[in-house]
Amino acid sequence: MSLVKLSLFLLFCVCCEAQLRKEAFMTVPNLIRAAGYPIEKHRVTTQDGYVLQMHRIPAGRRSARRTGDPGAKGKKAILIVHGLIGSSGDFVIMGPERSLAYLLADYGYDVWLGNLRGTVYSTHRNLTRSDPKFWEFSFHEHGKHDLPTMVDGVLNVTGLPKVMFVGYSMGTTSFFTMMALKPEYNDKVISFVALAPAVFMDNIRPLATLFMNLDFANIMRSQGTLSLDPQVLQRLIAALCNPRQPEYDLCTNVLFTLVGEDYEQNDVEMMPIYMHRIQPAAWRQLEHFAKIAITGVFQTWSGGLAIPGKPYNLTNVKVPVSLLYGENDQLTDKIQIMRLADQLKSTGTLEDVRPGCSWPKFNHLDFVFAKDVGTLFNKPLIKHIDTLYNKYGPE
Ligand SMILES: *[C@@H]1O[C@H](CO)[C@@H](O)[C@H](O)[C@H]1NC(C)=O
Ligand SMILES: *[C@@H]1O[C@H](CO)[C@@H](O)[C@H](O)[C@H]1NC(C)=O
Ligand SMILES: *[C@@H]1O[C@H](CO)[C@@H](O)[C@H](O)[C@H]1NC(C)=O
């Protein structure tokens, strides 16, 4: 290779890395703006004082260019809520033609991305993030406060009576919790599409038991570590992992044990970008999931694993629900999702339960991060959403 070629190649590499870094550190609104979509930020405040920033994409890329007016009057509104250690960024991170939010906006939807308490897009009126009280929450509070407030926020701004709702992983746990605690919200939702629903989790009982037996959360709390800190996680990953060679990488292998192995759909180029976008988790979130997994009952935390909680009443869910699972998802596995399906069927609200896509290795993360998530999953998903909208939406 000539010296010129070599230096051009090196320059190219440096630019690539710089590009990755830039994307990794961009806020979600800046990422959306850079992709050429209109973006609005809306702040909503929960009854218990958390201020949540919602990200709205009111129009598609082409229509925004053509009219210069990102108006969303008369459009179908849809609210999408992320999972544990995720944020609104999960639905734009793969870029146009791949990520759900962009595809929906291009398809004509008025897209609202939620951010739950704990993400970098949340603050509290009275508490700082270094106050232990800030971190006293699990999906119980997401369901009781965050989701109802975000639903009301969408309805307030759009003037619509109802919104379509999509949840991913813990976003679904939070949805079922909301309906159990506040069934009046059935009247504000058209239909619910649950991606990798996490309600029964008996399959992770061994891991949950280990986590609780080690008393991990309490040890961390007693040392002043208030949350699962993404920076610590990132440092650990940087020291131990080599995601560019996933087949030989310890971390990828550990991760795949948890979420299901799928080397083919693992986008190596995107790894450094996700790493920087990981959101903090409250210990209580993990403890509450552990309680569900260990007891096999979808119930409240109520102060501890050993304390009997109050079961969340799934009979209160009245809107049509679709459950989409990954054939190779080891975290929210099919058997547990079928158990949820049986309950919803018995109360007459189960619309559909089926694999999210035909790819047999589709795992827990593929719902948002698969290399071909646009064609494999999101485009068929939008057809499904549109069918539901036409069936149950306003005339
Ligand atoms: C925040 O502080 C104000 C004044 O100190 C108090 O009135 C209010 O109830 C507090 N709000 C919350 C959510 O704690
Ligand atoms: C919605 O609007 C009502 C009336 O203007 C207001 O009281 C309420 O706080 C708003 N809710 C949200 C979540 O924005
Ligand atoms: C659950 O909710 C339904 C109504 O949606 C009610 O009939 C039933 O009694 C409730 N079950 C419990 C255990 O509270």
pLDDT digits (tens, 9 = 90+) for 233-282: 777 777 777 767 777 777 777 777 778 888 778 887 777 777 778 899 99
15 has pLDDT over 60: no
User: Over the stretch 19-62, which tens digit does the pLDDT of each residue have?
Assistant: 555 667 789 999 999 999 999 999 999 999 999 999 999 999 87
For the packed helices 170-181 and 147-158, what is the interaxial angle rounded to 10 degrees?
80
Is the CB of residue 265 below 6 angstroms from any atom belonging to ligand 3? no
Mean pLDDT of 335-357: 96
Tell me what pLDDT residue 249 has: 77
CA gap 45, 145 in Å, rounded: 9
17 has pLDDT over 80: no
Q: Where are the alpha helices (DSSP H) in 204-359?
A: 205-213, 216-222, 230-240, 250-259, 271-277, 283-295, 334-346
1 has pLDDT over 50: no
17-200+314-392: what fold?
A: Rossmann fold (3.40.50)
**Atom 2 of ligand 2: nearest residue by CA position:** 156
Tell me what pLDDT residue 148 has: 98
6 has pLDDT over 70: no
User: For ligand 1, what atom is nearest to the CA of residue 127?
Assistant: 14
Confidence of residue 2 (pLDDT cuts 50, 70, 90): low
Domain residue limits, the chain: 17-200+314-392
Three-state DSSP at 170 gives: helix
Is the CB of residue 126 below 6 angstroms from any atom belonging to ligand 1? yes
Q: Which residues have any ligand 2 atom within 6 Å of their CB?
A: 44, 149, 152-153, 156
Tell me what pLDDT residue 272 has: 73
Of 341, 361, 160, the closest CA to residue 264 belongs to 361
Mean pLDDT of 96-124: 97
Top pLDDT among 208 and 240 is at: 208
Of 329, 90, 313, 60, the closest CA to residue 197 belongs to 329
Chain-centre distance of CA 182, in angstroms?
A: 21
CA of 195 to the centre of ligand 3 (A): 25
Mean pLDDT of 152-166: 97
